[in-house]
């Protein structure tokens, strides 16, 4: 099996060295770029399976690089940045980032986020069954089962769940979910989202107050995870 190739766009040479050692040790191929210009050129030349992008590049804002990449690059992009402000995180995710990790980050968390993003990109937006020990979701047949029993979901609950499944492992902002499920006119109606998240958790989670599928990313949005 071919090793997934990761392009790291980051101007810190120590980070480049650390990531190269870490990722190669865990069966990834790694290429590096120290500037925005090099990164965009590398993305076109290499066509990596995933890009790790720093926001603080010397020649151009990482936010601008992200927007340029998203005009043609459809594979996962994870932001690695020292910028931890909520508005920076939300901006990056709304501009098309799949995930956001704040430096310094833990190696185990980085690898988990990488694998989750790569797993989701293999399927893209194709309807597929998701299976775990107690939850089964088949978007093709529009079936959701828990412990073998068919769950009755409202149309909105199903639309919300299917949006999560299609973006499994990716952090979805409140605005993204509201726009996708309810429409552009509802992006400020966060109470809609909270109500339906709670309803959905009550139906698919064994312990709704300690969810393992629909995880809250504080102040940003939600992430759907199938173990």
The reply to whether 114 and 147 lie within a common domain is no
Cα–Cα dist 83/67, whole Å: 18
Cβ distance 27 to 55 under 8 Å?
A: no
Contacts of residue 216, Cβ cutoff 8 Å, sequence gap at least 6: 222
Cα–Cα dist 66/202, whole Å: 36
The reply to whether 14 and 117 lie within a common domain is yes
* Distance spanning both ends of the chain, measured CA to CA: 22
pLDDT for 39: 97
Residue 80 tokens read as 């690695």
The reply to whether 117 and 11 lie within a common domain is yes
Cβ distance 172 to 187 under 8 Å?
A: no
pLDDT for 124: 44
The reply to whether 149 and 75 lie within a common domain is no
The reply to whether 32 and 101 lie within a common domain is yes
Closest CA to 178 of 117, 221, 226: 221
The reply to whether 111 and 138 lie within a common domain is no
Give per-residue pLDDT as tens, 127-167: 445 555 588 888 878 889 999 899 999 999 999 999 999 88
Output the domain CATH number for residue 133.
Answer: 1.10.10.10
Rounded to two decimals, what is the model's pTM?
0.71
The reply to whether 72 and 99 lie within a common domain is yes
Report the largest interatomic distance among the alpha carbons of the chain, rounded to a whole angstrom. 55
> DSSP characters for 33-88?
ESSHHHHHHHHHHH--SEEEE-SB-SSSBHHHHHHHHTTT--S-EEEEES---HHH
pLDDT for 131: 54
Give per-residue pLDDT as tens, 64-87: 999 999 999 989 999 998 888 888
Q: What is the mean pLDDT of residues 113-128?
A: 64
Q: What percent of the chain has pLDDT over 70?
A: 93
Sign of CA dihedral 113, 119, 124, 128: negative
**Residue 44 vs residues 40, 60, 83, 104, 177: alpha-carbon distances, Å:** 6, 17, 26, 28, 30
Contacts 24+ apart (CB under 8 A), 58-62: 58/11, 58/34, 59/35, 60/35, 60/36, 61/36, 62/9, 62/36, 62/92
The reply to whether 62 and 154 lie within a common domain is no
What is the extent of the structural domain holding 62?
5-123
The reply to whether 39 and 110 lie within a common domain is yes
Output the domain CATH number for residue 31.
Answer: 3.40.50.2300
- Give how many domains the chain has, as a whole number: 2
Q: In the β-sheet with 77-81, what is the strand arrangement from edge to edge?
A: 29-33, 5-9, 50-53, 77-81, 99-102
Contacts of residue 147, Cβ cutoff 8 Å, sequence gap at least 6: 134
Give per-residue pLDDT as tens, 158-191: 999 999 998 888 889 999 999 999 988 888 888 8
Closest CA to 53 of 62, 61, 45: 62
Q: What is the mean pLDDT of the chain?
A: 89
């Amino acid at each position: 099996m071919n090793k997934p190739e990761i392009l790291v766009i980051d101007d810190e040479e120590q980070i480049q060295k650390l990531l190269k050692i870490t990722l190669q040790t865990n069966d990834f191929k790694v290429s590096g770029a120290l500037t925005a210009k090099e990164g965009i050129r590398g993305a076109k030349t290499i066509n990596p399976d995933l890009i790790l992008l720093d926001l603080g590049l010397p020649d151009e804002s990482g936010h601008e690089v992200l927007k340029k990449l998203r005009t043609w690059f459809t594979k996962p992009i994870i932001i690695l940045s020292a910028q931890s402000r909520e508005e920076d995180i939300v901006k990056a995710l709304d501009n098309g980032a799949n995930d956001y990790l704040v430096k310094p980050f833990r190696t185990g968390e980085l690898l988990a986020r990488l694998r989750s993003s790569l797993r989701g990109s293999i399927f893209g937006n194709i309807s597929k069954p998701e299976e775990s020990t107690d939850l089964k979701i088949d978007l093709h047949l529009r079936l959701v089962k828990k412990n073998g029993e068919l769950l009755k979901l409202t149309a909105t609950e199903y639309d919300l769940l299917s949006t999560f499944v299609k973006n499994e492992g990716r952090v979805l902002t409140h605005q993204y979910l509201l726009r996708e499920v309810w429409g552009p006119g509802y992006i400020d109606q966060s109470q809609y989202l909270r109500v339906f998240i709670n309803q959905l958790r009550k139906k698919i989670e064994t312990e709704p107050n300690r969810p393992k599928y629909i995880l809250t990313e504080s102040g940003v949005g939600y992430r759907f995870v199938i173990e």
